[in-house]
Structure 1
Amino acid sequence: MQIVLMRHGKPKIDTRRRLNAAEFGVWVEQYNASGIDTEFPPTQEAVAQASQCAFTVCSNLPRSLESANALGVECIGAYSHVFREMDMPHVEWRFPTLSLQAWLVFFRLAWAIGYSANTESFKSAKARARSCAEQLANLASTHGTVLFVGHGSLNWFVARYLKRMGWLSADKPPKKYWEYSVFYMQET
């Protein structure tokens, strides 16, 4: 049995902006609605890895679904909001104006220590990631090989839970676009 966690392709959205916190909230909504930038196609290794999987799972976000299509996946077996990225909290402050990267770091850290305005709590998101790992493991037991075209933070937590469940991988969870890690369960 094998599970491949792959990060989606590069989203088609401007990431070099400076914004206030309210604008950051709007940017997050736009990011979640964005597809992938076709000028940055998947690597041949990613396409080859995807082609070896019998079943594909995506989130319901366009960047996940479009990435599966770019990988040549002909049939997405399952897609759901359960597999979407862990959301970012946001507020309606009109100041200060910071880089997008600064807001991403600020709100992700605030979220991890308990701040969850306008989004699910960190505790709920971790429980959802555990559920995703369990669902992927169940699908792997049925289909043999499963590809999950997922998202950065969610993939990181899913990888942690897969390892706790006894899945093995020499790879680190995927960080870069089109990067992947392979998990396997030794059959007894």
Structure 2
Amino acid sequence: MSVDSIGFTQSLDIKELKQYYRQQPKEACVELYEDSSKKVNQIVLVRHGQPDLSRKGWFNRKEAAAFVHAYDSVGIVPFKVNPICNEGLQHPMIFCSSIERAVNTSKLIFEEKYDIVTDARFREFERKVMHFWNIKMPLGVWLSVSRGLWILGLNDKGIETKRKAKLRSKGNADFLIAQTEASQQVILVAHGFHNRYVMKYLKKQGWKTVRKGGSHYGAVNILAQ
């Protein structure tokens, strides 16, 4: 088989994958495409479920900081529909962030049917509440402005900088690609910002998005090559 024909076959496989996922009902769990005869690898990126923590009301700075701490230590609200169909997966390689909301998510999805590797390298980009007057504001204001200042390099003292976080996510993308040499199907349960940058670096290396799941809690995005 020529190089051109190999590339053409892989291109067809990517198109098949896109069509396969496009046809699945949105209200059901995602049934992962598995066919050992296909020369296509998949990396499945799952965002954790909704943390079991109320965001209602107005918060002063201390209360907002306490929320951030709690957000990193609570489990999630049980899914009404499992993000991924967990029956009959063929030897998937599954990783998850070490933060509790991701650990809890992976346990709820896979129900101890498969081995899961928990690793702090997949944690969310670090954050802290900005130093500001200790006034009452909606929680979303505290979190959004704090993250925005972090992105600008104005709120990263004592925590991971944006540059270091991006380098970590790039390294994680390379790590996940390397794992596809052992398994055609690699699954990661992690976080919104982290997964967004991993997707970015995967695309730079030629991986194609075959399922766009968005960025909501429990979102499933799949890339293939």
Q: TM-score range by the shorter chain?
A: 0.7 to 0.9
CA displacement, residues 128-154 of structure 1 (integer Å, 9 cap, x when unaligned): 111111111111221110111111111
Q: Which residue of 1 aligns with 2:222?
A: 182
Q: CA deviation at 1:94?
A: 5.0
Q: Which residue of 1 aligns with 2:102?
A: 64
Specify which of 155, 159, 164 is matched with residue 199 of structure 2: 159
Greater RCO structure (CA 8 Å; 6+ sep): 1
Task: Identify which range, 109-118 or 84-93, moves more after superposition.
Answer: 84-93
Say whether 1:47 aligns with 2:84.
Answer: yes
Q: CA contact under 8 A between 1:22 and 1:93: conserved in structure 2?
A: no
Specify which of 187, 201, 212 is matched with residue 147 of structure 1: 187
Secondary structure (helix, strand or coil) at the match of 1:5 reads strand
- Take 2:220 and 2:133, find their aligned partners in 1: how far apart are those partners? 38
Q: CA deviation at 1:17?
A: 3.2
- Take 1:50 and 1:128, find their aligned partners in 2: how far apart are those partners? 32
Q: CA deviation at 1:75?
A: 3.1
Q: Which residue of 1 aligns with 2:116?
A: 77
CA displacement, residues 5-32 of structure 1 (integer Å, 9 cap, x when unaligned): 0111111011113212232222111000
Specify which of 55, 66, 77 is matched with residue 37 of structure 1: 77
Q: CA deviation at 1:113?
A: 0.6
CA displacement, residues 89-112 of structure 1 (integer Å, 9 cap, x when unaligned): 224545222111111110111011
- Take 2:181 and 2:202, find their aligned partners in 1: how far apart are those partners? 13
Secondary structure (helix, strand or coil) at the match of 1:9 reads coil
Q: Which residue of 1 aligns with 2:166?
A: 126
Q: 1:51 to 1:131 in 2, by over 3 A?
A: farther
Say whether 1:14 aligns with 2:54.
Answer: yes
TM-score, normalising length: structure 1 = 0.88
Q: Which amino acid in the other structure matches residue 138 of structure 2?
A: S
Specify which of 98, 106, 111 is matched with residue 137 of structure 2: 98
Root-mean-square deviation (CA, aligned residues, Å) is 2.0
Extract unaligned runs of 5+ from structure 2: 1-40
Q: Which residue of 1 aligns with 2:30?
A: none
Q: Which residue of 1 aligns with 2:153?
A: 114
Extract unaligned runs of 5+ from structure 1: none
Instruction: Report the structure number with the largest CA radius of gyration.
Output: 2
Number of aligned positions between the proteins: 182
Q: Identity percentage over the alignment?
A: 25
Q: Which residue of 1 aligns with 2:9?
A: none
Q: CA deviation at 1:158?
A: 0.7
- Take 1:131 and 1:180, find their aligned partners in 2: how far apart are those partners? 21
